[in-house]
Amino acid sequence: MDWLFLFEVSLAGLGRGGLYALTGVAFVLIYKATRVINLAIGEMLMVGAYLFIGFGAGMALPLWLAVILALLGGALLGFVLERTAIRPLLGENPISVFMVTIGLSSVLVGLVEIIWTANPRSLPDLLPRDPIFIGDAFVAPKTFWSFVIAAGVIAVFLLLFRFWRGGVALRATASDQGAAYAMGINVPAVYSLAWALAGLLAAGAGILLGAISGASSSMGVFGLTVLVVVIVGGLDSVLGALLAGVLIGWVESVAGVYLGGEYEQLFTFSILLVVLLVRPWGLFGTREIERL
Amino acid sequence: MRIGSPKETYAADEALFRTRTQWAWFGVLLAALAGFPFVANLYWLYLVCLVSINVIAVTGLNVLTGYTGQVSLGQAAFMGVGAYTVAWLENHTGSPFPVNLLAGSVVATGVGLIAGLPSLRVKGLYLAIATIAASFILLFIFKNWESVTNGTRGIGIEPPSAFGVALENPDTFYWLVVPVTVVMLLLASNLFRTRIGRAFIAIRDRDISASVLGIDLPRYKLMSFGISAFYAGMAGGLYAYFFGSINPESFPLLMSIFLLAAVIVGGMGSMLGSILGGIFMTLVPELLRYGIDFLGLFMENASAVLSPVRTVVFGLLIVGFLLFEPLGLAEIWRRIRRFFHLWPFRT
């Protein structure tokens, strides 16, 4: 057993896990505030990456501006999706809402393929390319920097949730909608805010993911793994999403390297099935008690 | 205008066809189906075969999702199980095709029961996600169990033959697939006149109440998964025979979404909905192709956008129907019928 190699693989896995965690936070944000399981999160991420291509390569804007525009575009997308497709179904059967998000993901994939064709693209160079060594272990620079950025963004968001007025409103709505209303919190606005912020986070994750492995219209499959992440972590737990994201990323890359690439998804989905059978509410989720 | 249809027995109230008119229409439908191959060309017969296969799969999914309330995104993978079983039997044992089709359905049922196990523990959205996981694992098996599935290269299947005629073209295959579809639909419709079917509906409406009423939840949920997978297996077997070759790409997650979309668009919890949904969703891509051909007159390489446009339209159909017509095409049909029944009065 080559411990150095294992260490390198683990680091690469942690890098990927950072992206899972980032997208997982976006997912949990939507779930906590609006109780919607958003299966379109992977596609929102994909749209973010393509917007960056569109602004950065297509319109040849400076990269920092392209990033900002792509993030804003992602936020706008989240806002629009919530207002047009999710808001009218408020209070409906959660399964209907879930299926609406499946429909939305299909629409987004189709739109991206119409605008940018189905061929895979590579993103403009965004991250530094100097090799990074931690001790003796080599880490791909893209992976390293995307992990650092993901960690930074997550930290900023955690602080925002804690101290910013909007973040407090979000948490209030998540814990008790009725009480939040009574306290004068504009709950519908919180819904929009949650979706817009999640769109922004997803777009950011999309740009990072695209910078690592290129963009394609099947990038949305990433969202399925994120789904596994949030379920393992507990749907309504940010901490769970973070830990499970890193964990799943690590398991995936170790399985991918030692067993072969096709085992990655087998492993993640097997973990999912085990968690669903043993502890359906996840590691840190709230256990729901149903009453008649 | 129709004036009441008094019933004197419970049996009459529960009957599948309640009035003579309905029997008459059913007869007309059967006659039309029997006469269709003599007037239609191969293209239309091909479409009808495809529609029939999809209708069987959609009906199965409707039993599970529409009637029992368990969302499943694994239907295409179960179809794959049926298809691979049929292909293996056809190539290795050479048993007659009815046996193969039944065996395919039974194996799919078994797999469906296993895939349904999470339903004992979780429900709703968690269950939908568990079925996605099951579907990925099945696809992995299709790809990697080389000795049986031949991996990504796929398997070729000889067309079945009955009475010395090879059912290789739509005009002959029609006589296999359409009767099977009619029988499967009648079976499914009758299911909901029985204790089992009523238990399914009770579970959908409120599972806790159902269990308080003495319905054995695990048993009936698994039964629903089994029945649904049986239908998928049959559809998959027919699919394998119809197209003559299968590979793991034939049954992607997208196809499960397509089938779920057909259930939603047709109408959840309605047999008519399964039929309408299956027909509609199969024909939409064809219509789109005509539309794109038409567009091709005005713009270059319009055909390149066909596949993405289809993806968008599927998505929009799911979203649109859920937002504006949650009961699906079946409800539109009912509205039209009510209009004529009540005419000259309005609802």
CB of B284 closer than 8 Å to CB of B196: no
Does residue B7 belong to any structural domain of this protein? no
Q: Is A94 on the interface with B (CB under 8 A)?
A: yes
Mutate: best of A31, A98, A102, partner B, most B CBs <10 A: A102
Compare all CA atoms of chain B with the CA of A38 and give the residue at the minimum distance: B125
Residues 189-218 of B with CB under 8 A from A: 206, 208-209, 212
Contacts of B305 in chain A (CB under 8 A): 113-114
Backbone Cα Rg of chain A = 19
List CB contacts of A28: < 8 A, sequence separation 6 or more: A230, A233, A235, A236, A237, A238, A240, A241
Q: Is B117 on the interface with A (CB under 8 A)?
A: yes
Inter-chain residue contact A110 with B312, CB threshold 8 Å = yes
Contacts of A85 in chain B (CB under 8 A): 319, 323
* pLDDT for res B187: 93
Q: Where are the domains of chain A?
A: 3-218
Does residue B6 belong to any structural domain of this protein? no
Does residue B26 belong to any structural domain of this protein? no
Looking at the predicted structure, is the pLDDT value of residue A95 above 90? Answer: no
Which has the minimum average pLDDT: A120-129, B18-27, B188-197, B335-344?
A: A120-129
Smallest Cβ–Cβ distance between A262 and the set B140, B257, B318 belongs to B140
Res. B302 pLDDT band, cuts 50 70 90? low
Smallest Cβ–Cβ distance between A98 and the set B121, B122, B128 belongs to B128
Residues 247-266 of B with CB under 8 A from A: 257, 260-261, 264
List CB contacts of A18: < 8 A, sequence separation 6 or more: A146, A147, A150, A151, A245, A246, A249
Q: Is A108 on the interface with B (CB under 8 A)?
A: yes
The 3-class secondary structure across chain B, one letter per residue, is CCCCCCCCCHHHHHCCCCCHHHHHHHHHHHHHHHHHHHHCCHHHHHHHHHHHHHHHHHHHHHHHHHHCCCCCCCHHHHHHHHHHHHHHHHHHCCCCHHHHHHHHHHHHHHHHHHHCHHHHCCCHHHHHHHHHHHHHHHHHHHHHCHHHHCHHHCEECCCCEECCEECCCHHHHHHHHHHHHHHHHHHHHHHCCCHHHHHHHHHHHCHHHHHHCCCCHHHHHHHHHHHHHHHHHHHHHHHHHHHCEECHHHCCHHHHHHHHHHHHHHCCCCHHHHHHHHHHHHHHHHHHHHHHHHHCCCCCCHHHHHHHHHHHHHHHHHHHHHHHCCCHHHHHHHHHHHHHHHCCCCC
Res. B301 pLDDT band, cuts 50 70 90? low
Does residue B224 belong to any structural domain of this protein? yes
Inter-chain residue contact B212 with A292, CB threshold 8 Å = yes
Percent of chain A with pLDDT over 90: 22
Inter-chain residue contact B317 with A103, CB threshold 8 Å = yes
Looking at the predicted structure, is the pLDDT value of residue A18 above 80? Answer: yes
The mean pLDDT of A268-278, rounded to a whole number, is: 85
Size of interface A-B (CB pairs under 8 A): 127
Inter-chain residue contact B121 with A100, CB threshold 8 Å = no
> What is the maximum alpha-carbon separation in chain A?
61
A258, HSE (Cβ side, Cα atoms, 13 Å): 17
The CATH number of residue B293's host domain is 1.10.3470
Mutate: best of B256, B312, B317, partner A, most A CBs <10 A: B312
Res. B280 pLDDT band, cuts 50 70 90? very high
Does residue B273 belong to any structural domain of this protein? yes
Contacts of B128 in chain A (CB under 8 A): 95, 98
Inter-chain residue contact A276 with B126, CB threshold 8 Å = yes
Q: Which of B280, B258, B245 is nearest to B51 (CA)?
A: B280
Amino acid at residue number A123:
L
Amino acid at residue number A14:
L
* pLDDT for res A199: 94
Each residue of B129-151: pLDDT tens digit? 888 888 888 988 888 888 888 77
Amino acid at residue number B175:
W
List CB contacts of B93: < 8 A, sequence separation 6 or more: none
The mean pLDDT of B315-322, rounded to a whole number, is: 89
CB of B228 closer than 8 Å to CB of A70: no
List CB contacts of B179: < 8 A, sequence separation 6 or more: none
Does residue B248 belong to any structural domain of this protein? yes
Inter-chain residue contact A108 with B122, CB threshold 8 Å = no
* pLDDT for res B146: 81
Contacts of B136 in chain A (CB under 8 A): 224, 265-266, 269
Looking at the predicted structure, is the pLDDT value of residue A135 above 90? Answer: no
Looking at the predicted structure, is the pLDDT value of residue B253 above 80? Answer: yes
Quote the CA–CA distance of A80 and B221 in Å, as a whole number. Answer: 38
Contacts of A116 in chain B (CB under 8 A): none
Mutate: best of A38, A101, A104, A107, partner B, most B CBs <10 A: A107
Does residue B108 belong to any structural domain of this protein? yes
For chain B, the domain total comes to 1
Contacts of A88 in chain B (CB under 8 A): 323
Burial (Cβ within 10 Å: 0-12, 13-18, ≥19) of residue A152: exposed
Task: Please work out, in degrees rounded to the nearest 5, the angle formed at the alpha carbon of residue B53 by the alpha carbons of B48 and B55.
Answer: 90
For the CA atoms of A163, A164, A167, A168, the dihedral, rounded to the nearest 10 degrees, stands at 60
Does residue B209 belong to any structural domain of this protein? yes
| Higher per-residue pLDDT: B304 or B308 | B308
pTM beyond 0.90: the answer is no
Q: Is A114 on the interface with B (CB under 8 A)?
A: yes
Smallest Cβ–Cβ distance between A110 and the set B118, B309, B319 belongs to B309
How far B86 CA lies from chain A's nearest CA (Å)?
Answer: 25
CB of B159 closer than 8 Å to CB of B91: no
* pLDDT for res B303: 67
Quote the CA–CA distance of B131 and B111 in Å, as a whole number. Answer: 12
Q: How are beta strands B155-156 and B161-162 bridged, if at all?
A: unpaired
Each residue of A154-199: pLDDT tens digit? 899 889 888 998 889 988 988 888 898 898 899 899 999 999 999 9
Range of the domain at B147: 42-342
Inter-chain residue contact B311 with A113, CB threshold 8 Å = yes
Q: Is A90 on the interface with B (CB under 8 A)?
A: no
